[in-house]
Homo-oligomer: A and B are copies of this chain.
Amino acid sequence: MSTTPGTDFPLSLNTGTTPRLTLREAVEATAAAGLEQIGVWRHRVEEVGTERAARIITEAGLTVSSLCRGGFLTATGEAERAAALESNRAAIREAAELGTRNLIMVVGGLPSAAHVLGAEGDREDRDLLAARQRVADGIEALVPYAAEHDVCLVLEPLHPMYAAERAVLSTLGQALDLAAPYPARTVGVVVDTFHVWWDPQLQQQVARAGQEGRLASYQVCDFNLPIAADALLSRGMMGDGHVDFATISGWVAEAGYRGPVEVEIFNADIHAQPADRTLATMTERYQRLVLPALRSRAGHPAGVG
């Protein structure tokens, strides 16, 4: 084994897993659970202001693994597009102030899904190729600003069941194609097991992300059935659903990833339970279902072990 326990793959709590906690409460719960990393959502940061948020996190001895989130670049109106770019620039500044390079990008869905349309809806609102082009244009517009602040726009492919309303970016391969024109330090990708576990090209695209130096973040979360009434809440605790964490984590480690592993679970039952219980369960599941494969394969890079 080339790794020392505890040095690689630090576990990180994403505040989306404990949405009832304020930033300070989430930071305290994370530190109390013995973790050293936290992934934060912008609304939690905004509640106290970025400077104070950074101080709360630093004073607790934590590091920010990512800021969630930028994106939503698919609006068609000029004013909406300008507002989206401005919001993303603010997010880039916030990430830099919080000391994380990773700004997670959820790119946005079809305009048709942003408001209710019947059969007479404008066809342009369903134009997936045009929506993807607007995402590409938005990324292009943001890259110089991100580079200036040394922040990485971390493109997140979302599960195809969210393609209509949240992200026209649905696969890791597509994310890497979108990132290709830009330096790896400025445009990367995140592997979130919930979103990509089903992808027949996952192994080769994770390897490609590693080769291109774009594998910026690894998020773990299970895919539960049945799909929740609010589909966004279908994410589950590792081990409760259908994801093969050992296999995917092995690919991530073989691709050279050694960074934090964030747990981001939107799930009504988990959201309702005490945060210390959530942190205890996620730590146990991580150590049992995820970390062994990461550690094992970290010693055996692809093509070697």
Contact = CB atoms under 8 A, between A and B. Distances in A.
Interface of A: 110, 112-113, 118-119, 121, 123, 126-129, 132, 159-161, 163-165, 168, 170-171, 173-174, 177, 197-201, 223, 225-227, 229-231, 237, 239-244, 246-247, 285, 289
6 contacts: A121-B239, A123-B246, A159-B161, A161-B161, A164-B225, A170-B200
B240 A118 contact: yes
A113 to B, nearest CB: 6
A227 B126 contact: no
B242 A129 contact: no
Contacts of A127: 244, 247
Contacts of A118: 239-240
B128 A198 contact: yes
Contact of A159 (B112, B160, B247, B289): B160
Contacts of A170: 198-200
Contact of A160 (B132, B161, B229): B161
Contact of A113 (B160, B199, B225): B225
Contacts of A113: 225, 242
Given A161-B159, A231-B227, A243 B126 contact: yes
A197 B243 contact: no
B244 A164 contact: no
A298 B171 CA distance: 30
Contacts of A225: 113, 164-165
Quick one: which of A118, A160, A164 has the most chain B CB within 10 A?
A160
B247 A132 contact: no
A74 to B, nearest CB: 12
A235 to B, nearest CB: 13
B174 A129 contact: no
Contacts of A121: 239
A132 B231 contact: no
